[in-house]
Chain A
Amino acid sequence: MNKEQYISQLKGRMEAAGITNVDERIEFYDEMLSDRIDSGMEEEAAVASMEDIEDIIENARLEKPVTALVAEKVIKSHAEAKKNGNGVLWIILAIIGFPIWLPILCVLFSLLLVIYIVLWTIVFTIFVILLSFAIAAVASFAAFITMFFNAIPIPIGFAGLGGALFFGGLTVLLFKPCVVLAKSIATMIPAIFKKIKKNVA
């Protein structure tokens, strides 16, 4: 086998096995082979000294997260069981094994739900704080107005005006940063779940 055949076979097997970063890996093995040849080895001897393609695939598969490996095994076993006419047996085994996989699934689901709720709660809290500032500004201003109808003493009325300016200013100043923060959290949520999904898959 020459270098080109080895690399093309390796690439084909990696793609078939669903290995990630195939191009980068191929670049790595290509460099390894070229370095062997440059160090004085014959091309065929260099290829022969390379690791067995199946071993490379197996090691690359082991780099995947355990969850992905388990999911892969389950899908494969289901497909094989269906092919061999053991589909019912597979379903029975899945039901018998449910005390193991059900709690794990529940914990994972709860964890994801908690993360999702916490992140949206942060967004909600930001806007509640902003709203409270706006309401405080309006209420303080209303207090200032009532001063003209002798409902409250003049110093308290002016304190109300100060409060209205303070809270109104805070609302205006914080509105834009709060919107930016809320937007970044809102875009972060799907990104986090996408990453989790990618790692699980």
Chain B
Amino acid sequence: MEAQLRRGILDACVLAVLERGESYGYKLVTDINTFIEITESTLYPILKRLEASNMLTVRTMEYNGRLRKYYSITDAGRNRVTELLSEWEEIDKVYRYIIEERGENRE
């Protein structure tokens, strides 16, 4: 998959998972991995980028005698998911157009 498109999709996936509620790194990886492959080294920059653009907030809490970071979506993050979904509708239209064009040209 083209890197830019994949990046956008992964951003949306992280935000969509966080829309269900607060989560932490490992849970995010396992949740997202059920529908698209993601590794820790891919997730780390996404979380940093989303945090820098105020789309999510981070808080550290004690868990099992150690610290764990919890991520929550912000209003800006929710708006971004909506934006990405509307962008996807546009991409879907183009995709369908290409498929139709190819079909007609082959006939």
Contacts and interface: CB of A to CB of B under 8 A. Distances in A.
Q: Do A and B bind each other?
A: yes
Interface of A: 25, 28-29, 31-32, 34-36, 38-39, 50-51, 55-56, 59-60, 63
| Majority secondary structure, B binding face | helix
Among A28, A56, A63, residue most surrounded by chain B Cβ atoms (within 10 Å)? A28
B54 interface: no
Interface string B17-55: 000000011110100000000011110110000000000
A179 to B, nearest CB: 33
Give 4 closest A-B pairs by Cβ, nearest first. A35-B26, A59-B41, A56-B41, A63-B45
Interface in B58-88: 64, 66-69
Interface of B: 24-27, 29, 39-42, 44-45, 64, 66-69
A93 B28 CA distance: 47
Contacts of A63: 45
Given A31-B68, A34-B66, A55 B25 contact: no
A28 B25 CA distance: 8
Contact of A35 (B25, B41, B42, B44): B25
A31 B42 CA distance: 15
A28 B71 CA distance: 13
20 contacts: A29-B40, A31-B24, A31-B66, A31-B67, A31-B69, A32-B29, A32-B40, A35-B25, A35-B26, A35-B27, A35-B68, A36-B26, A38-B64, A39-B26, A50-B40, A51-B39, A51-B41, A55-B41, A56-B40, A63-B45
